[in-house]
Chains A and B, each alone.
Chain A
Amino acid sequence: MIKTENLSHLYSEGTPFQTTAIEDINIHIPKGDYVGVIGHTGSGKSTLIAHFNAILKPTSGKIFIDGQDLWSADKKTRIQTRFDVGLVFQYPEHQLFEETVYKDISFGPKNMGLPEYEIHKRVDKALDFVGLDRALLDKSPFDLSGGQKRRVAIAGVMALEPKVLILDEPAAGLDPRGRDEILSRIRDYHRETKSTVLLVSHSMEDVSRNANSILVMNKGRCVMHDSVPAVFERAEDLVGMGLDVPKITRVFISLREKGYPVSPNVYTVEQGKDELMKLLRKGGEAND
């Protein structure tokens, strides 16, 4: 679905302020995958995703969306890419501007030039995906709560019905309830539409609980891109990069270091409990 070849991007090229944002990225994201993109601030993850819908032009290298080389194609194709690859920026509620929720969500579909009935259908569908009540459609988006605004903004991108949905820190600044709500909505969206989803996040916990695979960015390079268990297999490396691995992973890494036969690959409480119960039962049997 998304493929890059030696993708690099320099900011302020040719000036004394030139900095390398991303360097030599070669990745392939298959159709229908749910990818967590992690890395700390300045690791290049935001720069990377801005290339996927042609907002940024690579300094060198290529990007293929659905087999199409983005920058050797004509401008029309690139505009179509904006609709094929939906990008939800950080704090997306700051982009709301219309008088009503309905109008705001339909802004994207309208720009696509869709007929009114199709727009209507898409707004309805997007509203369902983010779990908002239809009664809100005629309200001003500015009268909603913070979490609701965020969901309206996300619906505005979902209504494009993109093949790839990319979300940059969709839970930033929300309380645990709002965070869980949004993440579970995105999970459902992925399951139902079978589209490709990229979740950019600082939180290893959120990523491991939601994604199927993880792409780790560090200092402008893609240092890991593998399934969630395979990435956690290298949890020590993640700690070395200054990423926060879940507390529970740290507990199990330590248990293993102490010589207990537990998997180091534990990142949810559920897994941790199962792992411990298995061991305790084994111990129980041995005592009998």
Chain B
Amino acid sequence: MPKIISISKLNYAYPAEEGKAPHPALHDVSLEIEEGEFIAILGHNGCGKSTLAKHLNGILKADSGEVTVFGMNAADEEKVLEIRKNVGMVFQNPDNQIIATVVDEDVAFALENLGVPYPEMVERVNEALEWVGMTAYRRHAPHMLSGGQKQRIAIAGILAMKPKCIVLDEPTAMLDPQGRKEVMKTLLRLNREIGVTVILITHYMDEAVQADRVVVMGEGEVVLDGTPKEVFQNVGLLHSLSLDVPQTAELMYALRQEDIKVPIAVLSVEECLDELEKQLGGIGK
């Protein structure tokens, strides 16, 4: 798969406010992202993950280092529309990214900005609503919808631009479990079925384990980078970064400390059952 985003030695510090020192946020971050990947980025608040995300479509500009997206420098003012069309971004609070008072008009917002002609615009709005499963709500007022539905509308608004990559900054943090599942299902579908590259910033481990790749950040640096299995192997390190570990891995880790030979990176209930049955081998049955 071709590389679509490459970040090399990126440094960024937030400019100093009155009477305060500049606040460093990213330190020598290097990362390569391939087309079609589903990447989860983990890390506690203030570790630099949102700052990193905002570099991917030129909302923030690097102090040093370089961010290349689809062969363009992400900070290039000349190509800003081209970059944002290709790297869509969804934020945490669904209320604060919906602009219009009717669902389909909101989905059309980016297309209006890009000057897409009317017939094509209607087609793309319909298509985007279909992908997020919100067609039935096209004439609804956004503020009457649930959090999960609003967030899917926000995703549709990005999807209408036909981006190759979507970056989501904690899109599920303000949602209930139902809404979280809806959003996650939508993202997986977009990734698997139309090959959109997804970069998902999250605090929820059950979301991270569904990604192809997990990147863990701490204090402005990339600490771990690998498949979920590789990353969740490091239970001790993740604890020290005050991150959650899936409960199943946590259980395996606890058993390991009792000298029971089980693998640690066990991420699903089914897998955990298999491992436990191997150990128990019918005891007490």
* In the complex, A touching B (Cβ < 8 A): yes
In the complex, whether A229 has a CB less than 8 A from a CB of chain B is no
Residues of chain B within 8 A (CB-CB) of A145 are: 45-46
B283 to chain A, nearest CB (A): 3
- Per-residue interface assignment for chain B, residues 81 to 109, with 1 indicating a CB less than 8 Å from any chain A CB and 0 otherwise: 00000000000100000000000000000
Q: Is A273 a contact of B254 with CB atoms below 8 Å? A: yes
* A248-B251 CB under 8 A given contacts A173-B173, A174-B45: yes
Does A97 have its Cβ within 8 Å of any Cβ on chain B? no
Q: How many angstroms between the C-alpha atoms of A260 and B281 in the bound complex?
A: 10
Q: Known A244-B177, A272-B251, A273-B254; judge A283-B283 contact (CB<8 A).
A: yes
Number of interface residues of B (CB under 8 A): 37
Q: Are A247 and B247 in contact (CB under 8 A)?
A: yes
Residues from chain B with Cβ under 8 Å of A243 in the complex: 177
Tell yes or no: A230 within 8 A of B by CB. no
Closest Cβ neighbor of B43 among chain A residues: A175
Greatest chain B CB density within 10 A among A178, A244, A251, A282 is at: A251
Asked if residues B254 and A269 are in contact (CB atoms below 8 Å), the reply is yes
A254 to B246, CA, bound (A): 18
Q: Kindly state whether residue B272 has any CB partner on chain A within 8 Å.
A: yes
A41-B146, A41-B178, A248-B248 as given contacts; A180 in contact with B242, CB under 8 Å: yes
A283 to chain B, nearest CB (A): 3
Complex formed: what's the CA distance from A246 to B178 in Å? 15
Measured between C-beta atoms, what is the minimum distance from B204 to chain A in Å?
9
Contact A258/B251 with A40-B178, A145-B45, A250-B269 known, Cβ cut-off 8 Å: no
Residues in B with CB closer than 8 Å to A40 are 176-178
Chain A interface category by residue count: 35 or more
Contact B251 A176 (CB under 8 A): no
List of B residues within 8 angstroms of A203 by Cβ: 177
- Any A CB within 8 A of the CB of B277: yes
CB–CB A247/B276 < 8 A: no
- CB of B203 within 8 A of CB of A255, answer no
Complex CA gap A209/B147 in Å reads 27
Pairwise interchain contact B178-A259, C-beta atoms closer than 8 A: no
Chain A, range 115-149, C-beta contacts under 8 Å to B? 145-147
In the complex, the answer to whether A254 meets B273 with C-beta atoms within 8 Å is yes
How many angstroms from the CA of A136 to the CA of B246 in the assembled complex?
A: 35
Q: Is the CB of A177 within 8 A of B247?
A: no
The interface residues of chain A lying within 8 Å CB-to-CB of B242 are: 175-177, 180
- Count of A-B contacts judged by CB separation below 8 Å: 103
**CB of A30 closer than 8 Å to a CB of B:** no
| Nearest A-chain residue to B176, judged by Cβ | A41
- Bound-state CA distance A146–B147 (Å) is 21
Given contacts A40-B176, A41-B146, A282-B284, contact A175 B276 (CB under 8 A): no
- Residue B120, interface by CB 8 Å: no
Across-interface contacts of A246 in B (CB, < 8 A): 247
- Residue among A40, A147, A176, A203 having the largest count of chain B Cβ atoms under 10 Å: A176
- Residue A55 CB within 8 A of the other chain: no
Is B21 on the interface with A (CB-CB < 8 A)? no
Chain A 169-199 near chain B by CB (<8 Å), digits 1 or 0: 0001111111010000000000000000000
Query: Is A269 within 8 A of B178, CB to CB?
Result: no
Q: A175-B45, A280-B260, A280-B283 are contacts. A258–B177 as well, Cβ < 8 Å?
A: no
Query: Which B172-187 residues have a C-beta within 8 angstroms of A?
Result: 173-174, 176-179
Q: Nearest chain A CB to B45's CB is how many angstroms away?
A: 5
In angstroms, Cα B221 to Cα A62, docked, is 56
Residue of B nearest to A41 (CB): B176
Q: Is A51 an interface residue (CB 8 A)?
A: no
CA–CA, A280 to B284, complex, Å? 9
Do the beta carbons of A247 and B246 come within 8 Å of each other?
A: yes
Q: 12 pairs across A/B with beta carbons < 8 Å? A: A41-B176, A41-B178, A172-B173, A174-B45, A175-B45, A176-B243, A247-B248, A260-B280, A280-B279, A282-B283, A283-B280, A283-B283
- Additional pairs, 16, CB under 8 Å, beyond known A247-B247, A247-B248, A273-B254: A40-B178, A41-B146, A41-B178, A173-B173, A175-B242, A176-B44, A178-B45, A248-B248, A248-B251, A251-B251, A251-B272, A258-B277, A259-B285, A260-B284, A273-B251, A273-B258
Q: Please list the residues of chain B having a beta carbon within 8 angstroms of any beta carbon in chain A.
A: 44-46, 92, 146-147, 173-174, 176-179, 203, 206, 242-244, 246-248, 250-251, 254-255, 258, 260, 269, 272-273, 276-277, 279-281, 283-285
The 4 closest A-B pairs by CB, nearest first: A283-B283, A177-B242, A273-B254, A247-B247
